[in-house]
Amino acid sequence: MPKPSHREKLLHVGMQVVHERGFGGASVRDIVQAAGVPQGSFTNHFTSKEAFGLEVIGLYFENAVELMRRTLRNDELAPLQRLRAYIDYGSDTGSAESTKNGCLFGNFTAEANDCGEAIRLRVVEAFAEVQAAIAYCLRAAVKAGEIAPSTDCDEVAAFIVASLQGARLLAKAQRSPLPVERFKEVLFSSVLKRIGQAASAS
C-alpha cells in the first residue's frame, strides 16, 4: 500500500489540529510537527495558511456530504428518521472528543472575522448546502404526511441549522452533550410534533 504523500498527511493531520485548536490557534509549525513532515513541505503544497484552510474545509465537507447522503437525502428511510439520524451521527454525542472539539464549520464560523473572506464565504456555502439537504428532507416529510403541507421547509431548515450549531457551540463550551440532546428533544417532541399535529388536523 503506497505511503500517503506529505500533502495528504498535512491535510488530514492538519484538519485534526485545526479542529482541536481552532484555525487561529493552530500555527503552521504545529501542523507540520503533528504531520511529521519537513517545514518546507507546507509551502511546497499550499500558497498560504488561508489556502490550506480552504482545503481543510473542503476535506471536512466531503465527510459532511457523505453523511447527508446516508441520512437527509436517503429516500429509503422515513424523513424524520433521517433528520434524527443526521443529528445523531453529526453530533456523535457519545464521543467526548467530539463534544470537546465541536463542529469544524461552527468553529470556523466563530473565527470568521479572523480567517479571511475566502474562508468565511466557503463556510457560508457549506451551511447553505446543509440547509438545502435539511429542507429536502422536510419536503419529503410533508409528502409523507409527517408534517403539515403549509410548512415553510426552507425557514424550518434554516432554524434547525442555526439552532443545532448554537447547541454544538454550547456543548463544546460546557464539555457536555446536553445542549445538543436538549435541542433534539425540543425539536422532535415540540417543534416538529406541533407541525405534525397540524398535518393530522388538516
Please write the tens of the pLDDT for every residue from 159-173: 999 999 999 999 988
Model confidence at 86, pLDDT cuts 50, 70, 90, reads very high
In the chain, CATH 1.10.357.10 covers: 59-201
Q: How far is CA 92 from CA 5, 16, 63, 119, 200, in A?
A: 29, 16, 14, 25, 32
Per-residue pLDDT tens over the stretch 54-75: 999 999 999 999 999 999 999 9
Number of Cβ within 10 Å of residue 64's Cβ equals: 19
Alpha helical stretches, state H, 46-152:
49-70, 79-91, 96-101, 104-110, 112-115, 117-143
- CB distance 195 to 151 below 8 Å: yes
Averaged pLDDT score across all residues of the chain: 88
Q: Calculate what percentage of the chain has a pLDDT beyond 90.
A: 64
pLDDT at residue 1 greater than cutoff 70: no
Q: How far is CA 119 from CA 14, 18, 96, in A?
A: 16, 14, 27
For the segment 88-113, the average pLDDT, to the nearest whole number, is: 74
pLDDT at 102 over 50: yes
- pLDDT value at residue 106: 85
Mean pLDDT of 6-25: 91
Query: What is the C-alpha to C-alpha distance for residues 92 and 84, in angstroms, rounded to an integer?
Result: 12
Please tell me the predicted confidence (pLDDT) of residue 151: 92
Q: What proportion of the chain, given as a percentage, has pLDDT over 70?
A: 89
pLDDT at 94 over 60: no
| CATH no. for 1-46 | 1.10.10.60
How would you label 135-166 residue by residue, b for 16+ Cβ within 10 Å and e otherwise?
bbbbbbbbeeebbbeebebeebbbebbebbbe
Please report which confidence band the pLDDT of residue 81 belongs to, taking 50, 70 and 90 as the band edges. Answer: very high
CA-to-CA dists, residue 68 to 62, 82, 89, 128, 129, angstroms:
10, 9, 10, 13, 10
Buried b (16+ CB within 10 A) or exposed e, 172-202: beeeebebbeebbeebeeebbeebbeebeee
Where do you find CATH 1.10.10.60 in the chain? Answer: 1-46
- The predicted pLDDT at position 110 comes to 84
CATH class, domain 59-201, is mainly alpha
Strand, helix or coil at 6? helix
